Chain A
Amino acid sequence: MSEKLINLENIHKDYGGKTVLDNLNLYVRDKEFVTLLGPSGCGKTTTLRIIGGFETPSAGVVYFDGKNINDVPPNKRPINTVFQNYALFNHLNVYDNIAFGLRIQKVRESEIKDRVNRMLKLVSLPDYGQRSIDRLSGGEKQRIAIARALVNHPRVLLLDEPLAALDLKLRKEMQRELKAIQQQVGITFVFVTHDQEEALTMSDTIVVMNKGRIQQIGTPVDIYNEPKNAFVANFIGESNIVPGVMHRDKLVSFCGRTFDCLDGGFAPDEPVDVVVRPEDFEMVPPEEGQLTGTVRSLLFMGVHYEIMVETEQFTWTVHSINRADVGDRVGLYLTPDDIHIMHRS
């Protein structure tokens, strides 16, 4: 897992004077599941299209297996794509759709038959070969699109928000299935999504992007627990972000109180952003809390309650499995590893 299969170096992309990608540096290792995550317009799809060869970077180099592939057209790259709207050929049936790439490679028909049928089994749609595309449901089209791409044995599979059009239940199912398929075929997946939960559950590595720049690259656990800046903290899960001052290593004050924390490496008395995840608070009786406040609202979310606690300086979002009624006085308790310090952005 150390080989850099795809390497993007100093990629810039402009559309009519508007910068879409700004000095992007990113590498993808062999057999890795990498997710490009960000809000719409952050440049994640453009990055994917540059890897696929559908866009050429305005500046910078794309390396594949150490070779510059800037001028290699999509049909000559060992990369296949699952498009957002599936882009299945509706003048061909399921079998011919999947066989499309193999026929271009002039693979023998008997071998095509084997490989197509194996793919149909992999995506759990055996016997679907003769169906016409128009008669497939969204989830089935999705699977056929994946089969059509994978049958060519690409080194890399690019997936552009492939689950966006599916309903919640089907999406969850496909997430698990995609991950299983990736492990089974053992190839590199580059996945684009704006759904942070999807990114967290499926990826080996998440690349968080915003406004054409990479905000953070890391494992799902790293990204969730140690967001590098306020954008990442906000985009990945819910966060409380308050201004604070870092007095010295492992000592921060915010909301009129001083807390122990685990972070260091800031200038003395440097103004910082303090991030606390809603689920990290412990709700305690008012006299035991480091912060005290009044419950302003209560939402039942299934597993937990979402409680808005108003203190003097800030209204905190708190997730708790314990109920508190609106108007109650409650205390909030934090341990040092619940507090994440970030440079002011």
Chain B
Amino acid sequence: MKKNKLGVLPAVPYIVWMAIFVVVPLILVVFYAFTNEAGGFTLANFSQMGSYTKVFARSFSLSAVATAICLLIGYPIAYVLSKETPMFQRVAMMLIMLPMWINFLLRTYAWMSILENTGLLNTLFDKIGLFDLINWIGLHLASDPGKYVPIEHFNMINTQGAVVLGMVYNYLPFMIMPIHSVIVKIDRSMLEAARDLGADSKTTFRKVIFPLSLPGVLSGVTMVFVPSVSTFILSRLLGGGTTMLLGDLIEMQFMGGAYNPHLGSAISLIMMLVVMVCMSIMNHFGDGEDTAVML
């Protein structure tokens, strides 16, 4: 291969960028995590971690649920899309990306006004008489009609479900895109070969298309799961503070009343480690495939 005359020179801007904005902050995080306010070495920040187990568990489980839902919705969309004409695919992909051009906060506020007790959905349900119907049925089924409390709205905002909905809504495109781009690149002759060897379309999907699309699934899962775990604004706006997530906990240590950057750094570090472990386990399953695009 011909040697590049410039050597590593073209990579220098990126290396400098990485050094300043990735490596240095990482070192700072590690430094803060292992020191106390006086600047002395301590493991105290980590010994407090036990009291936050619930937040860790909640963050990871809600993110896992959101990722699973994204996969269940996103894979079929990506698969069906890949069979359409290139023109249709381009337009559809643009429509899928379109919401991402709107400010994240604005989108989340919009969801708040949709999910609120007096919001769009509840008003709609009220107008079509859904609550009247439910109350009528409830009243008739209740053993003691006197004690039956009629409902006026569904509790949608300030629930874990709303947080998961927010995650799914915001990160779904990141699931669809990598899966779609992997599926469209699958050689059509490979599908014909499967048919030729006796596979019907279901078997072809199970034995050829799905295994070959796994790298895309891995990328998609990574790209949905990682931002979901560290999100904080979603849980505050849609979860109403009832569902504190890791992102909120970390934010509180740096910006909030519980100012303690040392603890915040320790939590960040642990979160990073757990995410990395999750991802490497995931990637291990996809061993032998083309390595997934890690972000």
Which residues of chain A have a CB within 8 Å of any CB of chain B?
52-54, 73-76, 79-81, 83-85, 87-91, 100-101, 104-105, 132, 148-149, 152
Contacts and interface: CB of A to CB of B under 8 A. Distances in A.
Interface string B197-213: 11110010001100110
B37 interface: no
B187 to A, nearest CB: 7
A227 to B, nearest CB: 34
B51 interface: no
Contacts of B84: none
Interface stretch (B62-70, B96-104, B188-196, B248-256): B188-196
Contacts of B196: 52, 74-75, 79-81, 149
B193 A89 contact: yes
Given A85-B189, A89-B190, A91-B289, A74 B212 contact: no
B288 interface: yes
B221 to A, nearest CB: 18
Contacts of A73: 195, 200
A91 B212 contact: yes
Contacts of A75: 195-200
Nearest to B187: A87
Interface string B87-116: 000000000000000000000000000000
B198 A87 contact: no
Interface residues of B, number: 19
26 contacts: A54-B192, A75-B200, A76-B198, A81-B196, A83-B189, A83-B192, A84-B189, A87-B190, A88-B190, A89-B194, A89-B208, A89-B212, A90-B212, A91-B208, A100-B194, A100-B199, A101-B198, A104-B197, A104-B198, A104-B199, A104-B203, A104-B207, A148-B193, A149-B196, A149-B197, A152-B197
A88 to B, nearest CB: 8
Given A87-B193, A89-B193, A132 B288 contact: yes
Contacts of A81: 192-193, 196
Contacts of B187: 85, 87
Contacts of A53: 195
A83 B196 CA distance: 10
Contact of A87 (B192, B199, B203, B212): B192
A53 B195 CA distance: 10
Given A75-B199, A104-B203, A152-B198, A91 B189 contact: no
Contacts of A74: 192, 195-196
Interface in B199-255: 199-200, 203, 207-208, 211-212
B197 A91 contact: no
A76 B289 CA distance: 30
Contacts of B197: 75, 80, 100-101, 104, 148-149, 152
A101 B193 CA distance: 10
Nearest to A145: B193
Nearest to B191: A87
A52 B211 CA distance: 25
A91 B211 contact: yes
Contacts of B212: 89-91
A135 to B, nearest CB: 12
Contacts of B195: 53-54, 73-75
Contacts of A100: 194, 197, 199, 207
A148 B198 CA distance: 12
Of the candidates B187, B189, B193, B199, the one having the most CB atoms from chain A within 10 angstroms of its own CB is: B193
Contacts of A148: 193, 197
A82 to B, nearest CB: 9
Contacts of A89: 190, 193-194, 208, 212
Interface string B139-178: 0000000000000000000000000000000000000000
B285 to A, nearest CB: 13
A236 B197 CA distance: 34
Given A74-B192, A91-B288, 13 more contacts: A74-B195, A75-B196, A80-B197, A83-B192, A84-B189, A87-B193, A88-B193, A91-B289, A100-B194, A100-B197, A100-B207, A101-B197, A148-B197
Contacts of A80: 196-197
Contacts of A132: 288
A73 B194 CA distance: 12
Nearest to A83: B189
A81 B197 CA distance: 8
Contacts of A79: 196
B194 to A, nearest CB: 7
A87 B200 contact: no
Nearest to A74: B195
A52 B198 CA distance: 12
Interface in B265-292: 288-289
B178 to A, nearest CB: 17
Contacts of A84: 189
Contacts of B198: 75-76, 101, 104-105, 152
Nearest to A151: B197
A83 B193 contact: yes
A75 B193 CA distance: 9
A149 B289 CA distance: 24
A90 B187 CA distance: 11
A164 B174 CA distance: 41
Nearest to A92: B211
Nearest to A96: B207
A300 B123 CA distance: 91
